[in-house]
């Protein structure tokens, strides 16, 4: 591996990277922006060179590796990245940044709660899809851009991963707030769609077990999902139908809280993780997800189908059948 890295860097002296930084909020060149050239190495992500954009927003680096590289622009507390894959042009790059705001301009468009019961636990996976403002990036390090309610008694590893527009999943911490059972996630919500995935487990108590929760966002639809063979019962949920591929049941939630009885057991995937490697906390430049995400990757893809199908089923129920 050391020989590979040495050869990897030795043959790159004559390559060049250049481009310009544009402020997507104003449409004008962004001057004085810190720009970095970043590449993977044996020690993780390594900064190869740094520069500042000039008055015309332009930047240039004299060399770059032949392998995958990132051009990163740091602007108003947010990092924006442009990936350069092997064989792709490395000159004339366009890196777009946006003005940051602490006003909550992003909105939750959809929220999915997947419940997978076992004999001892209720394994829960929540997915939030957030739509960012087209011209601004929402940041709020103090309060978090996303807030989560976790049921009392949740146990196991609380995993949060965030996926920005066109990006790969990146692990983020969830921090306690002063409000009981409410956690915050600090992740910039850029223009476009951002996805937040949360996984945790709750011990099964009672017969049948009951899961209680709250929805903290006021916009967007929330749907509960269960594997085939598992049913939910509550006064404020409506079963919409099944997702054809997995036969998962989809329920629409009416209101901002739920207390559902969970009957049966089942899973949409094996609950064991066959990965042997630990994630080092660094985003990887790769077309495969980091190892820590292999366990949830299939569900992440399926949830898009479930969310979309839930919208269709709900709309179908709202349209009355034509009178004969």
pTM, full prediction: 0.78
The pLDDT of residue 159 is: 93
**What secondary structure does DSSP assign to 165-226, as a single string?**
TT---EE--EEE-SSTTEEEE---B-SSEEEEEEEEEEE--TTTTEEEEE---SSSEEEEEE
Using the structure block, give the residue that is written with the tokens 């809280």.
Answer: 257
- Of 121, 112, 60, 66, the C-alpha closest to 88 is 66
Burial letters 48-78, b for 16+ CB under 10 A, else e? beebebeeebebebeebbebbbbbbbebbeb
Q: What percent of the chain has pLDDT over 90?
A: 64
- Looking at residue 120, what DSSP letter applies? S
For the segment 139-155, the average pLDDT, to the nearest whole number, is 92
User: Which residue in 77, 8, 2 sits closest to 39, CA to CA?
Assistant: 8
Residue with the two structure tokens 């301009």: 105
Percent of the chain predicted with pLDDT > 70: 77
Q: What is the mean pLDDT of residues 265-270?
A: 75
Domains of the chain: 2-97 (2.60.40.1120), 107-271+288-318 (2.60.40)
Would the pLDDT of 167 be above 70? yes
88 contacts: CB under 8 Å, gap ≥ 6: none
Q: Which one-letter DSSP state was computed for residue 132?
A: P
Check residue 66 and give its pLDDT: 74
In what order do the strands lie in the sheet containing 69-75? 44-52, 34-41, 69-75, 78-84
Helix then strand count (H, E) for the chain reads: 2, 24
pLDDT band at 308 (very low <50, low <70, confident <90, very high): low
For 140, other C-beta atoms within 10 Å of its C-beta total 19
In SS3 terms, 215-252 reads as CCCCCCEEEEEECCCCEEECCCEEEEEECCCCCCEEEE
Q: Is residue 285 over pLDDT 50?
A: no
| Helix or strand holding residue 307 (H, E) | helix 294-318
SS3 51: strand
**Buried-exposed string 176-203: b where 16+ CB fall within 10 A, e elsewhere:** eeeeebebbbbbbbbbebbbbbbbbbbe
For the record, the structure tokens of 188 come out as: 């910039």
Sequence-separated (6 or more) residues with CB below 8 Å from residue 38: 45, 46, 47, 48, 69, 70, 71, 72
Contact indicator for 160, 185 with CB cutoff of 8 Å: yes
């Amino acid at each position: 591996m050391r020989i590979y890295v040495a050869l990897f860097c030795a043959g790159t002296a004559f390559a060049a990277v250049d481009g310009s930084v544009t402020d997507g909020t104003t449409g004008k060149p962004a001057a004085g922006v810190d720009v970095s050239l970043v590449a993977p190495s044996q020690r993780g992500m390594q900064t190869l060179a740094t520069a500042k954009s000039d008055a015309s927003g332009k930047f240039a680096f004299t060399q770059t590796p032949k392998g995958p590289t990132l051009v990163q622009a740091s602007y108003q507390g947010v990092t924006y990245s442009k990936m350069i894959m092997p064989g792709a042009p490395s000159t004339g790059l366009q890196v777009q940044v946006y003005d940051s705001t602490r006003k909550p301009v992003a909105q939750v468009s959809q929220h999915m709660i997947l419940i997978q019961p076992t004999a001892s636990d209720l394994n829960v996976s929540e997915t939030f899809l957030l739509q960012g403002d087209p011209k601004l990036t929402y940041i709020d390090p103090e309060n978090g851009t996303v807030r989560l309610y976790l049921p009392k008694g949740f146990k196991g590893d609380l995993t949060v991963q965030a996926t920005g527009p066109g990006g790969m999943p990146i692990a983020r911490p969830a921090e306690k707030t002063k409000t009981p059972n409410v956690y915050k996630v600090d992740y910039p919500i850029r223009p476009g769609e951002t996805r937040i995935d949360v996984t945790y487990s709750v011990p099964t108590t009672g017969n049948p077990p009951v899961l209680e929760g709250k929805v903290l966002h006021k916009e967007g639809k929330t749907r509960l999902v269960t594997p085939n063979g598992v049913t939910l019962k509550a006064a404020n949920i409506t079963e919409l139908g099944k997702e054809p591929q997995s036969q998962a049941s989809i329920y629409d939630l009416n209101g901002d809280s739920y207390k559902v009885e969970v009957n049966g057991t089942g899973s949409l995937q094996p609950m064991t993780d066959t990965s042997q490697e630990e994630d080092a906390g660094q985003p990887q430049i790769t077309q495969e997800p980091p190892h820590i995400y292999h366990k949830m990757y299939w569900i992440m893809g399926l949830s898009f189908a479930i969310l979309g199908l839930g919208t269709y089923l709900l709309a179908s129920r709202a349209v009355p059948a034509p009178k004969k």
